[in-house]
Structure 1
């Protein structure tokens, strides 16, 4: 039973977005809810059938076949093609034609094309940007409402309201499932890239209490980013920069947890476990990102990650260069997290006293466990164990992650 549940969760993450994109292309974007109903019925059928009869040899193929059959059953009951996207009605006048068309849409290259179209439809300018990103995370990336809420530092109720308003807008707005060109491209692409990065971050540093790393989410973010890089219109320098950043970060997967599942910080990671192939991918995409004269936040973050990825040890990291890059990043992105990371870098580059000074200026982070953990670390370096323990204990009360709680508790024990 556990095997079925684990496989189902993995496949639903990876395949539900693909099926939803294909079926939304079939039914039309205003009929997104119809496509979603078919996908949910398909996933429910899989759970019921697999628990009784075992996992099929080709579970992905089983899902696709079931989804196709459910579409045809639905259309037979309606006895019309009324639910089908209007531009297809004239070409599909029989069930056989519909069957052939659906089979065609489920070919790999058509699935990828449908996902691209869906991404850009979700980012239509008639929708607020936060709604655009929420739609992508929910529909294409398979994130749950709590996961999206964590990504936005919000709550479940707000995310549900945002989705409801977005769906209501979709039903009443003529939105085409097409990849835009010209002036319409960049604003939508920016929202897509942000959604992909949020997806990666939820996998890389999840706030799930029991699962610190969700590798499948990072893999999905890399897949969607690669999809954009392979399209002639969306293969822009900032796309390559984001892929570079994600590859550098993903290269450290195997070193981020020890054998007991406890977190291992960057300073103590075994760099021999870092994936050199991924680091080389990061370098290649960073080189591709240098084409043109645009400097996005992804360019700078990728450059920052490259210094860490290519340093022989934590001690030999070029922290002065990293401080410089964070100051450059501040000019593009003035978020408190950028200021926080800059403060950390200052502490490593110029000493713990300077790091503490920079951190204490960030009053808005006083309810953040990373903030208190960082202060505790710097006070520990100064042998001020009282102040270090105080900040560690505050951090314990602010984290929901079991892995982070264990790490902070270990720091207290070491004092």
Structure 2
């Protein structure tokens, strides 16, 4: 792995713990200070590590540099004496602090879109463009949400702690971890098909929720099950492939078994969330011969609890497996306005038209998809599909 790759991996794994520690020490009103100092530390690592080598404790190295940068600022502001004891040690391992920071970012006083954007930025370490793609939003809109959210923190005086009233804020946290995993599972920028470190980070944070009695709810367990079942396919995703084209012998059987166990545990009760239904769909796909009628029925259940255009798109793909590609195409037609600019729509239409034998229409959709933002592996996949249209 290159030094730049090592820095990115450490940054992804360390953003939450480092910012949690610094924000707890300096206060939520100094979130910008903590984030800026961590960015300075990463910039320094990119200059120093190629010469000196990656340190034995890279997270500790980044934390110490970020902490010292922050303390330099505080010295200039004449508040060092009060703050210094709070950050005297090394960065701790992931613990209650990360949960506290995550719940802070998902404060109910903020709009849900701002909660999601801020947590993806602060805890997950995603950039504005990645967040915009994950939220189907414009980059300028995401940037404005982040500015307004940070302004609210500066003025609110909120403490960095796990709240006693969890229910109003847990769903926001779960939505964030769902999006963080999805961005890793289907990377929307860069040279990689998947970003395993983002998937691992989402799973790690979700495990924190299910391991803590205060946050261990059935829907949290269902989300963890979904992540594990999806992550089981990662070894077969060296390139962009449709699920039916993947080499199932390369799927991680241990993750499938764990995902099934976690899902069964999450179903012990009356609660039914969208994560339960998605996990059930993922579990169906682990069968050697998936029951597509059952999958289609589950998508109907998912639409009942999450009536979004993205779910309707996925249901149309499932319908095509049952009633043929033209049935799927007919279901996708009404979504063209709502999902304009959303890469999976022209990709799905191209695939279904190709299956239906309409190569000219398939090529049109693949050419349109190539005009949209996507990762390099996605671009290679689209070019291959376009070539298959003749």
Q: TM exceeds 0.5?
A: yes
Does the C-alpha gap of structure 1 residues 57 and 386 become closer, same or farther in structure 2, counting only changes over 3 Å?
Answer: closer
1:274 maps to 2:251: yes
Normalised to the residue count of structure 2, the TM-score between the two structures is 0.91
Question: Aligned equivalents of 1:270 and 1:296: distance in 2?
Answer: 30
CA contact (8 A) 1:31 1:83 kept: no
Moved more, 11-20 or 64-73: 64-73
Q: Deviations over 1:155-192 (max 9, x none)?
A: 332222111111111111131222123xx312211111
Deviations 1:208-238 (A, max 9, x none): 1533321111111111111111111111111
SS in 1 for 2:371: helix
Structure 1 residues 362, 153: closer, same or farther in 2, change over 3 A? closer
Confirm whether residue 318 of structure 1 aligns to residue 303 of structure 2. no
Match for 1:223 among 191, 197, 204? 204
When residues 366 and 136 of structure 1 are mapped into structure 2, their CA distance, relative to the original with a 3 A threshold, is: closer
How far residue 79 of structure 1 moved from its aligned partner, in angstroms, is 5.2
Alignment partner of 1:106 is 2:62: no
Name 1:378's counterpart in structure 2. 352
Could you list the per-position Cα deviations for residues 351-372 of structure 1 after superposition, in whole angstroms to 9, with x for gaps in the alignment?
2232222222333246544333
The verdict on how the C-alpha distance between 1:62 and 1:336 changes in structure 2, with shifts beyond 3 A counting, is: same
Does the 8 Å contact 1:27/1:83 carry over to 2?
Answer: no
Which residue does the alignment assign to 1:303?
Answer: 280
Unaligned runs of 5+ in 1: 85-94
The Cα offsets for residues 4-42 of structure 1, whole Å up to 9 and x where unpaired, read as: 222112111211321111011111112222323432343
Partner of 2:260: 283
Q: Which of residues 233, 240, 244 is equivalent to 2:225?
A: 244
SS at match of 2:166: helix
**1:168-187 alignment to 2 at 5 Å?**
168-181=151-164, 184-187=165-168
Deviations 1:298-351 (A, max 9, x none): 110011111012x11xxx210101111111111111111111111111110122
* Partner-residue secondary structure (3-state), 1:361: helix
Does the alignment pair 1:116 with 2:119? no
Distance 2:2 2:367 in 1: 39
Change (3 A) 1:81 1:104: same
State the partner residue of 1:6: 5
Indicate the RMSD between aligned Cα atoms, in angstroms. 2.4
Could you tell me which residue of structure 1 aligns to residue 19 of structure 2? 20
Aligned to 1:412: 386
In the alignment, which residue of structure 2 is the partner of 1:347?
A: 320
Query: Which residue pairs with 2:186 in the alignment?
Result: 205
Q: Is the 8 A contact 2:12 2:125 kept in 1?
A: yes
Report the more deviating stretch, 367-376 or 236-245.
367-376
Is the 2:27–2:157 Cα contact (8 Å) retained in structure 1? no
Indicate if the aligned counterparts of 1:399 and 1:405 stay in contact, CA closer than 8 A: no
Rounded Cα–Cα distance in structure 2 between residues aligned with 1:379 and 1:71:
56
Q: Please report how far the alpha carbon of residue 246 of structure 1 lies from its aligned counterpart in structure 2 after TM superposition.
A: 0.8
In structure 1, the partner of 2:63 is: 64
Give the CA deviation at 1:67: 4.1
The match for 2:35 is 36
User: 3-state DSSP class of the match of 1:147?
Assistant: helix
**TM-score after normalising by structure 1:** 0.86
Q: Of the two, which has the highest radius of gyration?
A: 1
Q: Which residue of 1 aligns with 2:310?
A: 337
**Total equivalences in the alignment:** 388
Over 3 Å counting, the alpha-carbon distance change for 1:82 and 1:247 in structure 2 is same
Counterparts in 2 of 1:71 and 1:318: CA distance versus 1, 3 Å: same
